[in-house]
Amino acid sequence: MNVDADIATAAIFAFPAEKQIGLIRRTVDVLDSKNGERSFGEPYLRRTADTMARRMAAAGIDGNTIVREVAAFRKAVEDESIRRFLDKIGMRRAK
């Protein structure tokens, strides 16, 4: 009996970080609540990204994918922050 033939394999994919809209908006809410001082919110953003990375690593996601997903998450947070700012000053254009 070939034991290797009985072992099933599966690919693990990370849910795209830029699609985690609730987490992105919640992160921007926290950053915005820090009295406009982005540097006070940075530790929260770093902790959120670190937690995301640890969860992906525990799920078996490879390191390169984790780096890409965390970078995509941080970019999505920045994009949402900019979108909110442009909305606030009335400068955002409709798509």
Residues 15 and 59: their CA atoms lie apart, in Å, by 11
pLDDT digits (tens, 9 = 90+) for 6-41: 676 666 777 788 888 999 999 999 888 865 555 667
Whole-prediction pTM = 0.75
Domain ranges of the chain: 15-89
- For residue 10, the model assigns a pLDDT of 65
pLDDT digits (tens, 9 = 90+) for 35-85: 555 566 788 899 999 999 999 999 999 999 999 999 999 999 999 999 998
Which of 92, 76, 90 shows the shortest CA–CA distance to 31?
A: 76
